[in-house]
Structure formats: C-alpha cells, structure tokens
Structure 1
Amino acid sequence: MSFELVGRSGDVAKGDVLSVEIEGVEVAVVHADDDNFYAVRDECSHAAVALSEGELDGCLIECWLHGSRFDLRTGAPSGLPATEPVAVFPVEIRDGDIYVSTTPSNGVEP
C-alpha cells in the first residue's frame, strides 16, 4: 500500500478539514473530535459537491448542500438523500506528518 505525505498534523486543528489532491483524487482529511485523523473522498456521492465544506459532528461529515451525512470510518451514508458510500483512505501519522493511502480501505472506487 502506497502512502502520500499531505501535511503536518499540528497544522490541522481538531474539528478542521484539510482538502488535498492525491493522484488526481480530491480527498478530505479530517482531524475528528476523537483526536484521530480520517480521510474520505472529498465529494458527496449524492450531489458531487465538496464534503470538506460541510459540518463535522463527531465521526460524521455532513454535505452542505442537501444534508447527507457520511461516517468518516466507513464511508457509509447515515441519512438520505445519499445512498452510496464515499471512498475511505487509511491515514498514518509519522513523526507529526500526515500520510494518506492512495488505495481506499472500504472497496469504494474514488
């Protein structure tokens, strides 16, 4: 599994989202309230808008357009109108650097 350096963990405060591009795919890197970092495809599976512009609630990210919510750990939608999951990418913190895998962990193609 290949990982890409996307930033420093100290630069992303808890509750913030960093939007990055990895191999042509827009990815939202989230520093969640549980103090873990998560990465998901930065595009709502329902409306194709940036999830990074939405609200965070624990381990859920909400699409700002229609209110679809996605679990950051699994990519699964937790409410309509979205019915399809978003891709989830493994994250590693190494010496304060954030690395995101180029391969989704939940089998959803980005």
Structure 2
Amino acid sequence: MTGQSVVRRKKFESRIEPVVDDPLGDPPAFLKPAAAEAWEEFRRLMPWLNRSHRGITELASILQSRQAAGVLAVPGQTLLLRFLGSMGGTPAASRFAVVPEPENEDPAMRYFE
C-alpha cells in the first residue's frame, strides 16, 4: 500500500471497487487444526474479508499458526506482517479496509419511471 489513494484523492475518487458478495467461508480442509483456528480468528477480527481473500488468508493462517507455536523465524514474521497489512489487519492498514457499500439504486432508473 503506497497511500496514493489518500495523497491523490482526485485520481481515485471515482474508482469503484469490485463487489464480492461471497463471504470468506470455512477454512480449507487441508489446513491443519492450528491454521484453521487462525483462519477463524482472522474471519472474526477482519469481517471485510471475502471469497477473493481466501488465498492470502490461507497463507497468513499457516504463518500465524507457526507464530503461535513459537517456530516462526524472523523472515516469516516479516512476511506475516506484510500479509496482515495487505489484508487490512494492522492499525495502519485497517482504515483502508472499509469498502463503501454498493449503490442499490441505479441512477438511470429515474428515466424509466
């Protein structure tokens, strides 16, 4: 995250993020129990995660489970922090994680009423 959306607001103000209605879902069956627990914790702590975040959540869950077991080395901790930042799971990144609600009303409908 470069922060360009904050610095150059005008450029990004008309940008519309794709809407993914599918939730994050249950952890994949191949995750070990500790990683599945980390998945559930991420799902609880970061409710904005959806189906499009499954890949990065899998990797972050594995690293988080290794961190909890005390076997994650410093490079892995750095990678986990980068994943969390990308997911909006750090205090600095969480302000970017809130996506505006999609418009339910089509502006063109006023011409058809």
Q: TM-score, normalised by structure 1?
A: 0.31
From the CA coordinates, give the structure whose radius of gyration is larger: 2
> Which of the pair has the greater relative contact order for Cα pairs under 8 Å at 6+ separation?
1
Comparing both structures, which one devotes a greater share of its residues to helix?
A: 2
Question: What's the TM-score once normalised by structure 2's chain length?
Answer: 0.30
